[in-house]
Structure 1
Amino acid sequence: MWSRQAIFPLLQMFLTNFVYLCDPQETHKIYRQKLDELTSLQATCSSAIGKQRKCLKDLRHSLNKCAKTCDEKEVKLITDIKTQIKDKENVFFDMEAYLPKKNGLYLNLVLGNVNVTLLSNQAKFAYKDEYEKFKLYMTIILMFGAITCLFFLNCRVTDEIFNFLLVWYYCTLTIRESILMSNGSRIKGWWVSHHYVSTFLSGVMLTWPEGPMYQMFRSQFLAFSIYQSFVQFLQYYYQSGCLYRLRALGERNQLDLTVEGFQSWMWRGLTFLLPFLFFGHFWQLYNAVTLFRLAGHEDCKEWQVFMLALTFLVLFLGNFLTTLKVVHQKIQKNQGKVQKND
């Protein structure tokens, strides 16, 4: 049996050693020091990359001037140097994905000057996966919402809830995509603008008042929403499978995303999505034509009708022409490979 006189000295010694080993103030002090060092390194790296970018920009400008008066051999050398400059800029882009940077205009308006850069690969991948799951879950919710409004509840209140959900969904996508681009995701071209246009369209639909014109277009719009959600559901599973294989082969960046369209990397394997995509594009054109006709109706007094017609036309042209461009470029590239092999 331990006596009280023997236990208390041992207990006091144990507590003293425990506090010494696990002192949170000392640990926090070390953390603050490392954080200051990290901040200093980030500023140094950002400054160095900025200077290098400026030098490369000046070099490219000088090469463009020289190319006008050079012979064929020198032009080829200049082209090789430009290729090296582009490769170096891609390296800088990847480096900047791990450094704090100023937000773009849109993120500044929405979030303010808040650093949204995720510093670890684990955090970047987790945010990207959460973005993909968000798109998938919302696509399913919107599909069932459109089905409910079309077949079960012909009510203005439920229509407003559905349209508000569309506005919130597309607004959220634009914010999340901007954060992903700040962290190195290469979302380019029309697919960046697509969700902004869709946000505007959903907002106009939300403000369209009840009336004969609205009822004439309501069923067509809800049916289109169901089809669009169905195609997006197919795209998610097909594109995610393609990206998984290409990432495993090291041919795609880990932060590449599924998009609501056709990309060149989707050419590998089946191209069964193309008919679904083109049908959806022409449905957008059909929506635009229908709305233009409604805008010319003698009873039409709402500005939303003509504005929606223009927006659907913009979506059709952007989606259709971008998909055609990708398909055309891929066919030309494949033909070039065949001719080279022959």
Structure 2
Amino acid sequence: MEVEECVKEWEDLVADYKRLETINKEYTTKLEEVGELQAACLKELEHQKYRMSIINAALKRLEKKGGVKDERVTNLEKEIMKRKAMLHEIKATLPKQNSLYLRIILGNVNVSILNKNDKFKYKDEYEKFKLILSAIAFILAVGNLYIDFRPLQLILIFLLVWYYCTLTIRESILKVNGSRIKGWWRLHHFISTVVAGILLIWPQNQPWEEFRHTFMWFIAYISVVQYMQFRYQSGVLYRLKALGARHNMDITIEGFHSWMWRGLSYLLPFLFGGYVFQLYIAYTLYHLSYHPEATWQVAALSMSFLLIGIGNTVTTMIVVPQKLSEKEQKWRQNKVEQKAE
């Protein structure tokens, strides 16, 4: 390329840069406008909530006074319910404040994902992250069953620490962005993080050597069950989301959930097998805690596995009878309707 051509190319590039500057200026202006609009929306949202609370309080006072509910009051209550739902939808499009956990970990960084496609992309990445890490954990666990090499054991345990720490952060971000993971299954991951941390600092002594194979079998089993859960739950969620029966930001999580009843429940035996395994580990560690070389980690892990095992079992056993009862009620209702016809 000649010098003249280089100069001409540069002049063209200068013109392109000016266009870039114009676009960037417009972009930054729009960003500022978006920030102002978000603040205005939040202000109006709070105003709506405040005014609605006043109206609700007034209606309750009227009801206490013994006022008869006329058609206007009934219609007003219906309108308030509709407005609450509409405000909830509007709120979902606005940035949300981080949870305490996220504020401690990340500070006041805004983790709200406002673009729907980006939300779904982040959720899908979360699902893939769990699947990939489960596969890696399975390979490492199997390797540790046949190779007695301390660094390899520590790699697996450190992976578990990192996995559960990352999982709790990602789930907190998903929750900020509309995912409805809650209750025990979220707490379960926090406890698992602590368990993995204790395992990491457990010294290599005789109790560890006696427990090592049991733990590796457990990790291998849980990894397989998690893969089965992912394959099954993701399929069920896809169908239910397509039917509008589930939220788009719902995720695959451990355990058996009410929405899973709309399909095969073949996972239950494997899940309960995992819970029994957790209780067995708690029992094994309890006995190992009396070993002369046992350190405090053994007793702490025994209690942790007992808590996880009981929590998982109780939570699942609460869900299953509820769904069986609902299913029976629906069956009876259908039978009554058929007789009436």
CA distance, structure 1, for counterparts of residue 267 and residue 253 of structure 2 = 13
Kindly indicate whether the alpha-carbon contact (under 8 Å) linking 1:98 and 1:183 is maintained by their aligned counterparts in 2.
Answer: no
TM-score, with structure 2 as normaliser: 0.85
CA distance, structure 2, for counterparts of residue 40 and residue 56 of structure 1 = 24
The match for 1:49 among 45, 49, 52 is: 45
The match for 2:330 among 332, 337, 341 is: 337
- After superposition, the CA RMSD in angstroms is 3.0
Provide, for residues 74-97 of structure 1, a one-character-per-residue CA deviation record: whole Å limited to 9, x for no partner.
Answer: 6xx999988876765554444333
Kindly indicate whether the alpha-carbon contact (under 8 Å) linking 1:174 and 1:195 is maintained by their aligned counterparts in 2.
Answer: yes
Kindly indicate whether the alpha-carbon contact (under 8 Å) linking 2:207 and 2:293 is maintained by their aligned counterparts in 1.
Answer: yes
The match for 1:319 among 292, 297, 312 is: 312
Question: 1:225 is aligned with what amino acid?
Answer: I
2:184 is matched with: 190
Provide, for residues 76-121 of structure 1, a one-character-per-residue CA deviation record: whole Å limited to 9, x for no partner.
Answer: x999988876765554444333212221111111111101111111
Gaps of 5+ in 2: 1-7, 337-341
CA distance, structure 2, for counterparts of residue 154 and residue 227 of structure 1 = 19
> Closer, same or farther in 2 for the Cα pair 1:209/1:49, shift >3 Å?
same
> Closer, same or farther in 2 for the Cα pair 1:84/1:255, shift >3 Å?
farther
The match for 1:142 among 137, 143, 147 is: 137
* Match status 1:109 vs 2:89: no
TM-score, with structure 1 as normaliser: 0.85
CA distance, structure 2, for counterparts of residue 338 and residue 239 of structure 1 = 25
CA distance, structure 1, for counterparts of residue 95 and residue 324 of structure 2 = 40
> Closer, same or farther in 2 for the Cα pair 1:244/1:286, shift >3 Å?
same
* Match status 1:290 vs 2:281: no
Question: 1:200 is aligned with what amino acid?
Answer: V
CA distance, structure 1, for counterparts of residue 279 and residue 52 of structure 2 = 44
CA distance, structure 2, for counterparts of residue 329 and residue 79 of structure 1 = 32
Identity of aligned residues (%): 44
> Closer, same or farther in 2 for the Cα pair 1:22/1:81, shift >3 Å?
same
Question: 1:145 is aligned with what amino acid?
Answer: L
Q: How far is 1:33 from its partner?
A: 2.1
The alignment covers a number of residue pairs equal to 325
Provide, for residues 161-207 of structure 1, a one-character-per-residue CA deviation record: whole Å limited to 9, x for no partner.
Answer: 11000000010111111111111111121111111111011001111
CA distance, structure 1, for counterparts of residue 304 and residue 283 of structure 2 = 11
Question: 2:284 is aligned with what amino acid?
Answer: T
Q: How far is 1:283 from its partner?
A: 1.1
* Match status 1:234 vs 2:228: yes
Provide, for residues 291-314 of structure 1, a one-character-per-residue CA deviation record: whole Å limited to 9, x for no partner.
Answer: 11222x151441111110111111
1:307 is matched with: 300
CA distance, structure 2, for counterparts of residue 37 and residue 142 of structure 1 = 47
Gaps of 5+ in 1: 1-10
Provide, for residues 210-231 of structure 1, a one-character-per-residue CA deviation record: whole Å limited to 9, x for no partner.
Answer: 1111112111111111110110
Kindly indicate whether the alpha-carbon contact (under 8 Å) linking 1:124 and 1:183 is maintained by their aligned counterparts in 2.
Answer: yes
CA distance, structure 2, for counterparts of residue 199 and residue 117 of structure 1 = 24
The match for 1:173 among 164, 167, 183 is: 167
2:113 is matched with: 118
Q: How far is 1:64 from its partner?
A: 7.5
1:4 is matched with: none
For 1:123-272, list aligned pairs within 5 A: 123-151=118-146, 153-272=147-266
